[in-house]
A and B are shown apart, each in its own frame.
Chain A
Amino acid sequence: MGDKKSRPSGDALGREANIEMLKRERRANNAWHKLKRNKIAMAGLFVIVFMVLVAIFAPLLAPYPPNKVNPGQAYLPFGSPGHIFGTDDLGRDLLSRIIYGGRISLIVAVGATFVGATLGILLGLTAGYFGGWLDSLIMRIMDGMFSFPFILMAMILITVIGNGVLNVTFAIGIANVPSFARVVRGQVHIVKREEYCNAGKVIGVSNTRQLFCHILPNTMSQIIVYATLRVADAIISEAFLSFLGLGIALPTASWGSILKTGRECLTTAPHVATIGGVFILVTVLGFNLLGDGIRDIMDPKMKQ
């Protein structure tokens, strides 16, 4: 294609070889290959995939039905025969409850963060980019929502829309919106003053394109870091709401409700709370590691 050019193309290898080399370089630097080279992020991904698979195949993996009560075998300790993780106050098998509980906890955690991030990003971008009265309007509403503690906010929403997995997800998600909007708006304020945004304006780039092709990608790393934190928070929030009797109705198992049951017998049977807690911890860790990895991948300066 460039044969008609009088300028030499400046490579000794010849055009074909050069193109081939470029293709290889591009392939090596696509998202998946970059992720694969990041060992820590892969560990995070592995944890998450593992948890998701366990949740999906819960009926096949769980040794007992999660709500099967057996009062004769209450508070069996960790490692008891037949009940590897022991049993809780009603003699329900903890392993089965953890496996089934993962379904609820993961859906709520990821769903709530997704809802919160999507709405928060849209509002934050709009407020930060256009400024003026629109900014004041959106941010004052967000401040109003901020004035309620996060959990109280979620509680109010659940009282209004009722409980159930989707409603809890939605409620926690909505309660997440103001903080996302804040984070995004702050970043947009920094990015929109950058010279490349001015350059875009001179070229004649439309507002929509400017927002989604230049400003959003440049704020993404902060958003991802924040979102991974919120995933962890959402799991805990769901636990807290269950704890208050507002979340997922008992006896449906979730990691939060296991934690809550465990609290009541913390001195006599510490394994119940420990196991629930460990699963939350590991999953949250998985999300954080993967989040860090994704942020690095999206940063073109990280090539290795």
Chain B
Amino acid sequence: MDERRVVLQVQGVSKDFEIKSKEVFGKKQTLHALTDVNLHIYQGETLGIIGESGCGKSTLGRCMVRLHKPTRGRILCDGEDIFALKGEKQQKLCRDIQMIFQDPYSSLDPRRTAAYSVAEPLRVHGILKNQDAIDERVLELMQEVGLDLQHLSRYPHEFSGGQRQRINIARAIALNPKVIVCDEPVSALDVSIQAQVINLFRRMQREHGLTYVFISHDLGIIKYISDRIAIMYLGRVVELCSAEAIYRSPLHPYTKALLSAIPPESPFDKKERIILAGDIPSPIGEQIGCPLAGRCPSCMERCKKEAPGLKDYKKGHQVACFLYD
């Protein structure tokens, strides 16, 4: 796997948010949304990122498209720090990393037609100058995502959720990006529509050689679409390996518990569930020890004092747990 080209590299990225205290002159507190995240994203693959809500999946995705600036660490695209570039080069980079948002209802400007939204990236980057060329390209993009001429001059509220997500996809691929960050793109859709949109994602990937960072909390979808999967817990990546391996031989106690939550295929099958006691700890304030220490069935003394880093267990399978040190 390593011989493949790395498109996007996340190096030791942490993101802290300051939250104001409820008291007027109280001390500001820090919310650790991401802690020391390291990832390599290879050309043409789909990296699934999975975790429960509030674990920092979306924050990571938003850092990749520069909506958040990491507190520490760097994100490199083709070896260049995406936050250090200025002017022309930054605009160029903008085209390479695009995003599809979770909520198809709010990610399109309600006062602009579908054609306007899809044409906007082309106009902003001056890719096509003349209006006829833009019109033609927009139609081409719309047809590619399964919409047509009659949809061009409609407004977002006239579309269904699935259609809007198609428009979002058309807008994202308009710039021929290398990487598309998909932030739970189907979780707002009906199950029947989910399948259509997921298949559209796969087709787009085949036809355009796209690389996806696919964020989701749906284990089934992630399994279907991903080549590799990163499991996140409380702002950290706790396990990273290929999609089959993670379902076949999960290592991290959290991953095991997470996978045991998938319902068995037959209702007569007995499946043992690993229940993690307690709630996810608060990301606010100082973080000591392994984030899972309080809930982990195999917690050791060491886990309460220091946090394990992501280490190679075997080729292409990394885990952050002292059990495998």
A residues at B contact (CB < 8 Å):
1-2, 5, 7, 9-11, 15, 18-19, 21-22, 25-26, 194-196, 198-206, 209, 213-214, 217-218, 298-301
Contacts and interface: CB of A to CB of B under 8 A. Distances in A.
Contacts of B121: 203-204
Contacts of B95: 204
Interface in B75-119: 91, 94-95, 97-99, 101, 103, 106-112
Contacts of A10: 148
A1 B139 contact: yes
A187 B319 CA distance: 47
B227 interface: no
A197 B124 CA distance: 14
Given A202-B67, A203-B171, A204-B94, A5 B107 contact: no
B171 A22 contact: no
A22 B109 contact: no
B24 to A, nearest CB: 18
Nearest to B123: A209
A1 to B, nearest CB: 5
Nearest to B146: A7
Given A5-B143, A209-B124, A301-B155, A198 B109 contact: no
Interface residues of B, number: 36
B110 A195 contact: no
B153 interface: yes
A7 B143 contact: yes
A138 B112 CA distance: 30
Nearest to A26: B153
B111 to A, nearest CB: 5
A300 B106 contact: no
Interface of B: 65-67, 91, 94-95, 97-99, 101, 103, 106-112, 120-121, 124-125, 136, 139-140, 143, 148-150, 152-153, 155, 157, 168, 171, 175
22 contacts: A1-B139, A5-B140, A11-B148, A11-B150, A21-B150, A22-B152, A26-B153, A194-B106, A196-B110, A198-B67, A198-B107, A199-B168, A200-B120, A201-B66, A202-B65, A202-B66, A202-B94, A202-B97, A204-B124, A218-B110, A298-B111, A301-B157
A300 B148 contact: no
Nearest to A196: B109
A218 B108 CA distance: 12
B67 A22 contact: no
Given A204-B125, A218-B110, 10 more contacts: A11-B149, A15-B149, A22-B150, A198-B101, A202-B94, A203-B175, A217-B109, A298-B111, A300-B111, A300-B157
Nearest to A206: B124
A18 B148 CA distance: 11
B103 A203 contact: no
B110 A300 contact: yes
Contacts of A26: 153
B150 A201 contact: no
A218 B67 contact: no
Given A1-B139, A10-B148, A26-B153, A203 B120 contact: yes
B42 to A, nearest CB: 22
A301 B110 CA distance: 9
Contacts of B91: 204
Contacts of A11: 148-150
B150 A300 contact: no
A282 to B, nearest CB: 32
B124 A203 contact: yes
B109 A218 contact: yes
Contact of B149 (A19, A194, A199, A203): A19
A195 B150 contact: no
A45 to B, nearest CB: 23
